[in-house]
Structure 1
């Protein structure tokens, strides 16, 4: 089919698509209004009820809290999507809005009633389960095939991780009296802040690339390659930081257990999964994968590491190119992203208080400097290395901006460091705000730079020479770990843009 014919087909299909979209919007608004009315009545009963009322029941309070979190998070997520931002940004903002920075400041009674200590404990446990499943899905998305055919350019772009890491560690050392945690040594604290500034959020980056139709361009492929490499290095560094106690024996013991787990995973568990996948039903395989992710989380927890490290490791050895794996991860992803992950964002929001900055200009100045250092280090590290390796200036700039997207991964790392006592409340709040602002800036700036030259249409078959191999799973429009389903791959780029118009 030629491009004009594809445009004609797309335009002919646009009318019913528009009707369905309008109907879906009306239904969504109606559901939001009904849910809002129900939550209002529920909150009214909660505040007016006594000890003998229905609202005094702990389960009822917990369910009402979950309903409020999901309502606020997805409403703001839909709003962000309408203005061209990743929906996950709205969900993060929803969590912040329910915390002491917004609801706790404007309506402290509601915050106290909605998030009593018992509810918070249960909420945190459910959120941790969602986080474990999410990191397992991120591990499943890791594609070593992205590293093929990259030549020296892919290795050079490690600068996008190295320079932010060094700059972040130097920044941390300079402001250590203001930001260090109670349980951290200076070395642990500096290494942690360095890796926190070196993070790029793979799931959110994948969603932005799909939205901009850049996921198969040279810049998009390189950005995903560097983000995957950077995240792998970051989790490795985080493991070292968390085991880096003053007792060398403890460090050696933990390191030995981690190495043993890695060998067992790649030499034992991986071949076993390859053997089991074709032989088990979808139901049985789903149970095996979820139990495996949870068991790996338990193992790393026993090793005094964070559970998400184990879940991520298990996800990396799940077999590729298996349709049943695609279907399983899609089902898990939908429930995790829609229900469980917003609860994690709410937990982050409840621990984040912009009020700790107060009116002290010094604190705000430190945060502004952190934002500048984080942005410039990524821009110069990734973009500068790409330019030196021969990438055109415009594509190098785009790459540097894309690598600044920190998103969910930054929140996870910040929470781990805060709970481990490596950073204090002020530093934790700075990292949360940094994740929000850098993700928002990436979504705002990239569309204004336009599509890169040599995009999907720039090669003979939609794949320019010398770029990364396409994702292993392109036979169906699978979702990325960041959220919504992208446009179907077989549609040509020109016709897809016509359909969007």
Structure 2
């Protein structure tokens, strides 16, 4: 193995990058297939496969096997392509935020309030206890507490959209309500994260707060006044000319520019890409373009992102000490119970059966890629340390792993018999099922 590693290190940078991409994507595909065979979301296996390249896997037990992957040039090239994948992922989430189902507004309001407020309070309460282990060195207590509160509140709309058909809840009242609450929660978490990074000065570059606000305001104006009309015009021209794929380059350019603005403003690329998805017009040409983008992003770019996370984690990030085990157990219990309990309390005034209230709390514990992206931002901005990042990743994976089995064991849900199609079903057909 050592001889093979040395031979690979002598190859040109481009060859090493292509080999690294092949290895990472193949591992992710295998992990996703194994997870699907076990009745779990594919993304669970893909994330685990990516982490196998880091201190939680091969980098510890067989360092020579992945040493060449961790070379600076190779890891940087993988991460650069992965960043594009995260921008496209955030764009597709933003697009989905307006395509979830539309249960009655009072139910959405109360359940969202419960599913956000209770986890946020739980995160704020537990933050002082775990900050010495999970927090980065020197991070202010308020910044860490605010970040952990957002982490506890996350529900991943893409994972939930794919999971509902697997547990036979697509088209049910509970399923559509969960989708809409997840969309509202995602929007609130991303908004809160943007504010936290700006106020705490934890951006990628030191930028004054007024410049961040100005950049965001200008981006919103450009999105509404320029992007939407241009996309609509191109979509109409494409429909007339029969050249639907012409919309794909326009979307990619828009996402890249919006992501560059928010990253350059000291935040992160994701909020800008998310905004591009929120304002993108809902027209057939864009729907078709998103299908092309979703296929490439889910099969290639996101696996590279998971691999880049594993490669970027320092060796020895998770020692398995008593303090880390205690933090893992505490966080898993607090995050799961707070999210499920908050959703259950919020659903009390809605008239849902007790089984559906419990099922709703379980479904909203889906975290997946959204949680991983938020955690990565916290790690890169030195809010959580390496050990804390690894611990929170394991909490996320453990939480996602129990959602489907628990839902399958609950009593059957009552299907919604309202006539006519629902926009919530659209998410099941065309959503970004991660």
Please say whether Structure 1 and Structure 2 have the same fold, judged by a TM-score greater than 0.5. yes
Gaps of 5+ in 1: 1-42, 464-468, 484-501
- Preserved CA contact (<8 Å) 2:365 2:403: yes
Mapped contact 2:8–2:68 kept (Cα < 8 A)? no
Once residues 415 and 205 of structure 1 are traced to their aligned partners in structure 2, the CA distance between those partners, rounded to angstroms, is 21
Deviation, 1:246, is 6.5
Mapped to 1, the partners of 2:225 and 2:293 lie a distance apart of 26
Pair 1:136-2:91 in alignment: yes
Cα–Cα, structure 1 residues 354 and 396, in superposed 2: closer, same or farther, change >3 Å?
farther
Map 1:30-429; keep pairs closer than 5 Å. 46-47=4-5, 49=7, 56-143=11-98, 146-147=101-102, 149-158=103-112, 159-182=114-137, 184-245=139-200, 250-280=208-238, 281-320=243-282, 322-352=283-313, 355-429=316-390
Cα separation, 1, equivalents of 2:3 and 2:122 = 52
Distance in 1, matches of 2:225 and 2:5, equals 57
Q: Give the secondary structure class of the aligned counterpart of 1:56.
A: coil
List per-residue Cα deviations over 1:116-171 (Å, max 9, x = no partner). 22111111101101111111122222226634x51311100121011111111221
Deviation at 1:282, TM superposition (A): 2.0
On the 8 A contact 1:126/1:340 being kept in 2, the answer is yes
Shift of 1:249: 9.4
What is the CA-CA distance between 1:358 and the residue it aligns to? Answer: 2.4
Assess, with a 3 A threshold, how the Cα gap between structure 1 residues 445 and 47 changes in structure 2: closer, same or farther.
same
Task: Give the Cα–Cα distance (whole angstroms) in 2 for the partners of residues 91 and 392 of structure 1.
Answer: 35
CA deviation after TM superposition for structure 1 residue 348, in Å = 1.8
| Structure with larger RCO (C-alpha < 8 A, sep 6+) | 2
Aligned-residue RMSD, C-alpha: 2.4
Contact 2:318–2:386 (Cα < 8 Å) also in 1:
no
Task: Give, in whole Å, the separation in 1 of the partners of 2:314 and 2:186.
Answer: 27
TM (normalized to structure 2)? 0.91
1:45: Cα distance to partner?
Answer: 7.1
Q: Tell me, in whole angstroms, the C-alpha distance in 1 between the residues paired with 2:159 and 2:99.
A: 19
The answer on whether the counterparts of 1:135 and 1:312 sit within 8 Å (CA) in structure 2 is yes
Deviations 1:409-448 (A, max 9, x none): 0000000111111111122112211221111111221112
Q: Is 1:444 matched with 2:405?
A: yes
8 Å CA contact 2:176–2:424 kept in 1: the answer is no
Q: Matches of 1:437 and 1:388 in 2, distance apart? A: 30
Separation in 2 of the partners of 1:122 and 1:157? 42
Distance change (3 Å), C-alpha of 1:364 and 1:354 = farther
Which deviates more, 108-117 or 349-358?
349-358
- Offset at 1:287? 1.1
Give ranges in structure 2 of 5+ residues lacking alignment. none
Alpha-carbon offset, residue 462 of structure 1: 7.1
Query: Is contact 1:326-1:478 (8 Å) kept?
Result: no
Q: Which residue of 2 aligns with 1:479?
A: 430
Distance in 2 of aligned mates of 1:372 and 1:191 = 19
Q: TM-score, normalised by structure 1?
A: 0.80
What's the counterpart of residue 38 of structure 1?
Answer: none
Residues 447-466 of structure 1: matches in 2 within 5 Å? 447-453=408-414, 455-456=415-416, 459=417, 461=419
**Greater mean deviation of Cα atoms: 343-352 or 408-417:** 343-352
In the alignment, is the contact (CA less than 8 A) between 1:212 and 1:451 conserved in 2?
Answer: no
- Structure 1 residues 359 and 230: alpha-carbon distance in aligned structure 2, compared to 1, 3 A threshold: closer
